[in-house]
Structure 1
Amino acid sequence: MEMTEILNKNLMKTNMNAKSKDEVLHELAELLLANGNITDIEGFIKDIYAREAEGQTGIGNYVAIPHGKSAFVKDVGVAIGINNEEIPWETLDGKGVKGIILFAVGDDVEAAKDHLKLLAMFARKLGNDEVVANLLQAKDQNAIVTAFV
């Protein structure tokens, strides 16, 4: 699995005006539903919140990577949102979040492998301050892709 294979411009949204974690998760889940990655928004988000309850997904630097295994995932996908304003989120550095990378992975054994690959792939990229800066300043889908590749 390569970054270029997983990045899908149909699953990216910039200039978002969400005011809460719930709003941003719903907006990104709508993209996943429209693209055929998930079959039910509320069921999927319930599974994301179950994972959120286990520990924070805000990795610091204004970025969060919410994720969770869900039976409502039909096809692995990554929805990426860039919010205009910082929103409250449980993070490692105590700051809010502007960049949200929402993983949609199934709940079977094969999906678990994909899940770990995705986490590792994005964690490597997001460990680079320049990648994060470019991501948070992205004004369109092309700029998001450019930040990661």
Structure 2
Amino acid sequence: MDDNDYREILNHIRVRARESGLTDLDALTVAGFDEERSAEPRATLQRYLAVLRESAVLRSSQLEERILALIRDALAPDSLPIEGFEVVADERVRASFGLDERVPLRGNADLSRTVERIERLERIVAEGEAEGEAETEWQ
């Protein structure tokens, strides 16, 4: 693959992220770097994928499950089971943001699949595999 291929893949992934409702994730991912100014399109793509993956992990059910497992392991065996997390918002926060008193924090299971796909694409780019394989991974 050449530089234009890497730029095209990056643009395609950004469009797909925004079409999938991840506009804020895409914006967060590109904050701090400008892919047009990069002298190394492959490195820019790799950096974008790494940041996108990290951001998606933070929103995925994978992270929630890892945290729940750590908490469960730290608790005494006879304690009540931990099923999830929630934030209790005070009156000022509820009024400011229109929130309920208790806001459940749940990971997004669909993002877990997205994380796996991003990891696969990262391997493809790192290994310099054929363009066709990278494209079919995201279709």
| TM-score, structure 2 normalization | 0.30
| TM-score, structure 1 normalization | 0.28
Q: Which structure shows the higher strand fraction? A: 1
